[in-house]
Homo-oligomer: A and B are copies of this chain.
Amino acid sequence: MAARIDDVARRAGVSTATVSRALRGLPSVATATRARVLQAAAELDYIASPSASSLASGHTRTVGLVTPSISRWFHGHVIEGAERTLRAAGFDVLLHALMLDASMSRAPIDPAVLRRRVDGVLVVGLPVSEEELAALDSLDVPLVFVGAGPPGRVRVHMDDVGAARMVVEELVARGHRRIGQVQGTPTHSVSWSPAVERAQGAEDGFAAAGTVIDRADRPVERGDFSVEGGRAAAARLLDRDPALTAVYAHSDEMAFGVLAELEDRGVRVPEDLSVVGIDGHDLGGLVGLATMAQDASGQGAVGASLILEMLAGADVGPDVLYPVTWVPRRSIAQAPAL
């Protein structure tokens, strides 16, 4: 049915080896020959069998995307950016999602699925364990992390610590002295996850504030990086300390939950309480959420480019730090007078 390489060879009057060279753009082919081959291939609507060429060459022209989510804002956008870049370079994208279950835990990365199947792996917003890292290394292909990656590895991410610090500084500068936090929960307890770094940055912000804010005046609850988690955490926060004047949610999605809970309780934003998030979610403007915005699809595109460069033999530096933008919106204001 479908044309094979020797059909093209016969039609062009050359050997299969020459067809292969011509079609892949290798140098040592006479211009006239190449033209004839291209012509013949086009006429036959020939496309090389990916499995055959993978088997023979050892390359798959496929990059694996490992992610804990597709529908969440960050992951969806990173995947979108990466897919576009990879496809433009003629690579296929293999999606490997490790969904979180109800208890926020997940199956470990299964290297068997990726082995011999991809030329590179992009880990999207997923803190991995030491064992998983070893498993990924054993694939022996370029490995790039977007959004969260172990130090020393090739990774592209925002400055989580710095962004969190700036958020706290914005709040303190507006007179807030009782600031609750809704923290994310990393799927693996590693020191380099956004969950941890966005908490660390807040500590830095408090330390640098020039005003001592007692630990009791900055309570923290966990929100699992989800809207519902954020809502529940906000509820616990307000129950603990009804006198809070601000809440810093470590992600916009959790901040949405905070806003929902506040509305239910009749707490006015920002008159009674200010709310700030991190991420720059598309719908933040809709609810007037102040945030530190990052460019997720841009990071996905850069991550994909890095893999392509590594595949081309380039040495790439370990860290691409992506800038963030402060987006003040109506959810943040001066702290109410005491």
| A51 and B47 within 8 A (CB) | no
A79 near B: Cβ within 8 Å?
Answer: yes
Complex Cα–Cα for A26 and B282 (A)? 50
| B65 and A70 within 8 A (CB) | no
Q: Which of A92-100, A150-158, A189-197 contacts B (4 or more CB under 8 A)?
A: A92-100
A49 near B: Cβ within 8 Å?
Answer: yes
| A47 and B2 within 8 A (CB) | no
Shortest distance from the beta carbon of A81 to any chain B beta carbon, whole Å: 9
A36 near B: Cβ within 8 Å?
Answer: no
- Residues on B with C-beta less than 8 A from A117 are 50, 92
| B47 and A112 within 8 A (CB) | yes
| A94 and B97 within 8 A (CB) | no
| B116 and A51 within 8 A (CB) | yes
Contact residue among B77, B83, B282, B285 (Cβ-Cβ distance under 8 Å from A95): B83
Q: What number of A residues sit within 8 Å (CB to CB) of B?
A: 43
Give this chain's copy count.
2
| A60 and B51 within 8 A (CB) | yes
- Residues on B with C-beta less than 8 A from A94 are 92-95
A55 near B: Cβ within 8 Å?
Answer: yes
| B65 and A71 within 8 A (CB) | no
- Residues on B with C-beta less than 8 A from A113 are 87, 92
- Residues on B with C-beta less than 8 A from A55 are 49, 51-52, 55
- Residues on B with C-beta less than 8 A from A297 are 71
Q: Name the interface residues of A30-51: CB closer than 8 Å to any CB of B.
A: 47, 49-51
| B69 and A71 within 8 A (CB) | no
Q: Name the interface residues of A54-99: CB closer than 8 Å to any CB of B.
A: 54-55, 60, 65, 69-71, 73, 76-77, 79-80, 83-84, 87, 92-97, 99
| B93 and A50 within 8 A (CB) | no
Shortest distance from the beta carbon of A2 to any chain B beta carbon, whole Å: 7
| B93 and A2 within 8 A (CB) | no
Complex Cα–Cα for A130 and B94 (A)? 28
Shortest distance from the beta carbon of A256 to any chain B beta carbon, whole Å: 5
Contact residue among B52, B80, B99, B227 (Cβ-Cβ distance under 8 Å from A70): B80
Shortest distance from the beta carbon of A109 to any chain B beta carbon, whole Å: 12
| 1/0 contact string of A1-27 vs chain B (CB within 8 Å) | 010000000000000000000000000
A307 near B: Cβ within 8 Å?
Answer: no
Contact residue among B47, B54, B95, B99 (Cβ-Cβ distance under 8 Å from A93): B95
Complex Cα–Cα for A88 and B185 (A)? 26
| B116 and A2 within 8 A (CB) | yes
- Chosen A-B contacts, 13 in total, with CB atoms closer than 8 Å, are A49-B116, A51-B51, A51-B55, A70-B70, A76-B76, A80-B99, A83-B95, A83-B97, A84-B99, A87-B96, A87-B113, A93-B95, A95-B95
Known contacts A93-B95, A259-B286, A260-B286; 6 additional CB pairs below 8 A are A47-B115, A51-B54, A55-B55, A70-B77, A84-B97, A94-B94
